[in-house]
Each structure stands twice: as structure tokens, then as C-alpha cells.
Amino acid sequence: MVYKKGRFGEFGGQYIPETLMHALSELEMAYAYYKKDTEFQKEYVNLLQHYAGRPSLLYNAKKMTADLGGAKIYLKREDLNHTGSHKVNNVLGQVLLAKKMGKTRVIAETGAGQHGVATATAAALMDLECEIFMGKEDTKRQALNVYRMKLLGAKVHEVSSGTMTLKDAVNETMREWVARMEDTHYVLGSVMGPHPFPTIVRDFQKMIGEEIKEQIIRLEGRLPDAVVACVGGGSNAMGSFYEFIDDENVRLIGCEAAGLGVNTSQNAATMTNGTIGIFHGMKSLFCQDEYGQIANVHSISAGLDYPGVGPEHAYLAAIDRGEYVAITDAEAVEAFGYLSRMEGIIPAVESAHAIAYACKLAPTMKPEEIMVVTLSGRGDKDVAAIARYKGVKINE
């Protein structure tokens, strides 16, 4: 395998208009410098520990373990981070980087709103202007997060092009960036897009897996048998997996959104149904038709409702290092309730996809085996949508 810059096997690359190439190489150079800058790393770690609340807990889900009757289950509690999800890890890194680069304004796409909230939070903290692009459909599904971003001082743009979801929010943020790069950094929210974003975002999320390893060795004296995480663009999964890639006995399992089912037209199961293509700056897998038109995808989870996946995941699947499974809306909603009742933890509906697969996998494993499930975020934002899904009327 020949490794080219910004490539994961054949995946990745920089498929982006010429106008943006200057901004990307500026970012690449700045990142290469600050990655090795001890002062930058010190500031970043300080923010992670004293602002975001890292390291996050590795929680032994005893009731769930007993109930499922198989592998010993640990939950990596990214839901306990400030702003309520793993998104803050990446955002603190990128916004700090933007500040060092002399940028005065950040823009970002958001699906469920978690990345938008995290970006607005970091921008408030570090005194940067902030504008968030969010699909109109998602602003309805996640109205609370829209208001949260506004409270934090961000301007929220409703995107009403295309399917009015995450994909279109990315399109619109790219259009905004190409018009204004001089003072603006695009805080991309997942391990996707053109190089160097997949690498930068993975590096700013890889502490999840590093902490898991350290914590599980302290608690159990050994590595886990499986690490399970949900995959939309794939940042919490990549962050969880990266430290374990060379530990070949650790299964790495990504859970994507099957929506109404992988055999229906209403899903976002990129790894299961996708084909190789070039979109949003990267060569990767996409849900698309035979003419390369990007498909309209569906998931109950706004954060997983995306027709592509990060190139490093496509690579892990291609070399059979990562396993990817699809979880339906119904299974995720079931798992949402299950974890709430069983452990008193309300998971984000995205994370509920990982919980749903854990429920299937655990009973097939031996009691002496260990499974770690990354709980990427908390479910407060989803309570209203889950109630709607179940036909329960509540006063929001």
C-alpha cells in the first residue's frame, strides 16, 4: 500500500474547489506546527481537564451486564463532558487552533446540534464570532439545541436546500467558507471532509480510546474484547477505535443508522449500502445512485442522518479491521428507553444505536469477556423527539 498525504488507503484526499486549497494548506501547516508545540498542547489539555471535565468516566454497567447475561459491559461516558457530548473534544482543539492562526470567526455545520452547541460554547469561551449552519428539518427536531446555540451568542442559519439535514448543512458551510476564509475557520465536526480534517478531528478525539485503554487496564488488568460506538461521520467511533487499531484482538464495531431498515429507501446505512464515491472533499463510501447523485437518507437521529462516512472508517472496513453494523430507528428507540430504565442514564439517540448493538452482542459473548460501549452524548436533547416518535404528548 502506497501512503499518500491525507490518504487512508485509497480513501480521503482533497477534492475541493481551488479557492479553498489555500485555506486547507494554511490549516495543514498550522496544525503540523501546533501539534508539536508544547504550549499549545498544554493549553488544550488544560481546557479538556478543567473546562470539559476530562477524563470521562469508564462506568461498569452492572445491571445491564447482569440483565443481558454475557460480556461485562463498560460505558465510556462522553455524555458527561461539558456540553453533553464528545463533540467538545474536537471543538476545543480546533477553536484553540483557529485562535492561534489569528482567525476571529468560526463557522460550523451541525446535525443534532451537539457540534453546533459545542462550537458556540468554545467560541464564547475564546471570544470568537460564531455562525452555525443547520438543516431546517433538524432545527425542528432539535429546537432546544437551536436556542442553546443562540444563548451562547451564535448566529444560527437555517438551511433549506436539498434534504434540509446534515448533508445540506455541510454544503452551506462550505459555500460560506469559500466566500470568507481570511478571518474564518471552518470547525468541521467529524472525521470527514478534505484533508487535513479527517486527521485533525481524529487526533482531537483519540483521547477517548487512550483513556479507555488506561482505565480498563487499571480496572481489569487487560484490554477489552470489543469497543462499540455509533457512526455518522464517525468521530466518536474513530476517537474510540484509534488507540486499539494495532491491538488485533480488540474488535472494533461501528453502529450506523438503518433508519426504517437497510432494505428500505429510508436509511443512512453508508457502510452497509454505500458505494465508493467522491463528495464533501473526500473519497469514501456514500449512499448514492448509479449516476453518483447523493441519496436522500433517513435516520431518527439527526447526528447519524448523513449519506457518507469518514474515509478512515471506509479504510478500516476495507482492510477488515473495523466491523460495521446497522441499527434501525425502532431498535435505537428501544435502547434509549432500556438504558434509561436499566442504568438511570438517558443516552443520545445517536449513542442509543451503539447501546442497541451492545444488547445484541453481549449475550453472545462470555462472562469473562469485556465490551466497552462509547456513550457519545446525553439524551436530554432527544426526549421531546422520542416522545413524539412514541406518540406521547408532552409540554416541551
The residue ranges that bind other proteins (CB under 8 A) are 13-23, 161-162, 167-168, 171, 174-175, 178-181, 275-281, 286, 288, 290-294
Question: Which of 72, 76, 87, 99 does the annotation list as catalytic?
Answer: 87
CB 295, min distance to other proteins, A = 8
Nearest residue (CB) to other proteins, 93 versus 307: 307
Nearest residue (CB) to other proteins, 251 versus 280: 280
CB 182, min distance to other proteins, A = 9
Nearest residue (CB) to other proteins, 129 versus 323: 129
Nearest residue (CB) to other proteins, 224 versus 308: 308
HEC string of the chain? CCCCCCEECCEEEEECCHHHHHHHHHHHHHHHHHHCCHHHHHHHHHHHHHHHCCCCCEEECHHHHHHHCCCEEEEEEHHHCHHHECHHHHHHHHHHHHHHCCCCEEEEEECCCHHHHHHHHHHHHCCCEEEEEEEHHHHHHCHHHHHHHHHCCCEEEEECCCCCCHHHHHHHHHHHHHHCCCCEEECCCCCCCCCCHHHHHHHCCCHHHHHHHHHHHHHHCCCCCEEEEECCCCHHHHHHHHHHCCCCCCEEEEEEEEECCCCCCCCECHHHHCEEEEECEEEEEECECCCCCECCCCCCCCCCCCCECCHHHHHHHHCCCEEEEEEEHHHHHHHHHHHHHHHCCCECHHHHHHHHHHHHHHHHCCCCCEEEEEECEECHHHHHHHHHHCCCCCCC
CB 101, min distance to other proteins, A = 15
CB 264, min distance to other proteins, A = 20
Nearest residue (CB) to other proteins, 186 versus 242: 186
Asked if 353 and 335 touch (Cβ cutoff 8 Å), the reply is yes
* 155 flagged as catalytic: no
* 109 flagged as catalytic: yes
State the residue for C-alpha cell 458527561: 80
Question: Which of 85, 172, 376, 381 does the annotation list as catalytic?
Answer: 376
Sheet of strand 275-279: strand arrangement = 7-8, 11-15, 281-286, 275-279
State the residue for C-alpha cell 448509479: 290
Nearest residue (CB) to other proteins, 23 versus 365: 23
Nearest residue (CB) to other proteins, 246 versus 291: 291
Nearest residue (CB) to other proteins, 249 versus 265: 265
Kindly compute the dihedral angle of the four CA atoms of residues 249, 250, 251, 254, in this order, to the nearest 10 degrees. Answer: -160
CA distances from 141 to 72, 111, 175, 382 (A): 34, 10, 24, 8
CB 18, min distance to other proteins, A = 5
Question: Quick one: cell of 71?
Answer: 460480556
CB 196, min distance to other proteins, A = 12
* 376 flagged as catalytic: yes
CB 143, min distance to other proteins, A = 26
Question: Which of 28, 78, 109, 350 does the annotation list as catalytic?
Answer: 109
Catalytic amino acids? 87, 109, 376
